[in-house]
Amino acid sequence: MRVIIRKNAQAACVTAARLIASLIHQKPDAVLGLATGGTPVNCYAELIRLHRCGELDFSRVTSFNLDEYVGLPREHAQSFYSFMHENFFNHVNIDPSRIHLPNGNAEDLTKACDEYEQSIACAGGIDLQLLGIGSDGHIAFNEPGSSLASRTRVKTLCHETIRDNARFFGSEAAVPRLSVTMGVGSIMDARQCLLLVTGEKKAAAIRSAIEGPVTSQVTASALQFHRFATAVLDEPAASWLSRKSHCDFAESSMPDPDEILR
Ligand code: GLP
């Protein structure tokens, strides 16, 4: 896995945004897999900034989000649908008909999950999947114990995730217990994976994901089997990596993604 370490969270978000921008420059009709959470907000802000400067055109881009809560109305302030519109879609020229999020309110959730997988396949598959990590090592809502071959389906949130996400809902009781999430297998099908992780609170999870054994107990560790996975970390998130200095050394001979568009 390529590991890029930046001084702080803002710098990590800018690097992640530039890797995404570079893909869109190469492939203007790219299919992006997108993520929610506090971490990517400044990555989206940088993409919006590049769009406003005339550097980035989203008109032919297609997007698929990783996950959504079950039973939360789309208009709810904490639905991932609202999050994505507020933090990204409303500020760029993406065609609304090319935006896809799992439907957590479908009458038949199993059917909706199968259809989501089919839509991804019909779009030609995901070119780049942006990911964050949960403090229990999950990607999307693939909680510990999720099959590493899993596809889009309903998953129950773990207590740690409910506790982490309570900050958005005001209380643990208000956090939905169920989600619809792309599976680890669906994520691994993306042509590139970009894991963006910041903050010391994630240091243990990211060490397990990058340096630990591949295990369904830390679903992000499956990325070790991906051919084109890049982790962009800030110093605090990288602070528990035992091979951190090698990552910096290896990166010093690679083209700097921040130089793209400069
Ligand atoms: C949720 C999302 C994940 C995200 C994680 C971390 O669980 N389903 O996709 O990576 O939160 O979010 P944050 O960036 O807020 O720490």
State the pLDDT at residue 6. 97
Predicted local confidence at residue 1, as pLDDT: 95
> Is there an atom of ligand 1 within 6 Å of 12 CB?
no
Residue 157 CA: nearest ligand 1 atom is 7
The predicted pLDDT at position 218 comes to 98
pLDDT at 14 (0 to 100): 98
Long-range contacts of 159-164, Cβ-Cβ distance < 8 Å, separation of 24 or more = 160/134, 160/135, 160/136, 161/134, 161/135, 161/136, 164/134, 164/135
Residue 261 pLDDT: 63
* Ligand 1, atom nearest to 38 Cα: 15
Q: Is 67 a catalytic residue?
A: yes
Query: Is residue 258 flagged as an active site residue?
Result: no
Domains of the chain: 2-259 (3.40.50.1360)
Q: What's the pLDDT at 171?
A: 96
Q: Is the pTM of this model over 0.85?
A: yes
Structure tokens at 79: 């639905």
Measure the CA–CA gap between 109 and 120, rounded to whole angstroms: 17
Check pocket membership of 161 for ligand 1, CB cut-off 6 A.
yes
**Residue 39 CB less than 6 A away from ligand 1:** yes
127 given a catalytic annotation: no
pLDDT value for 257: 85
Mean pLDDT, 10 residues at a time, over the chain (262 residues)?
Answer: 97 98 98 98 98 97 98 96 98 98 98 98 98 97 98 97 94 97 98 98 98 98 98 98 87 82 58
What would the pLDDT profile of 154-193 be if each residue is shown by its tens digit?
Answer: 999 999 999 999 999 999 999 999 999 999 999 999 999 9
Question: What count of Cα atoms within 13 Å lies in the side-chain half-sphere of residue 106?
Answer: 18
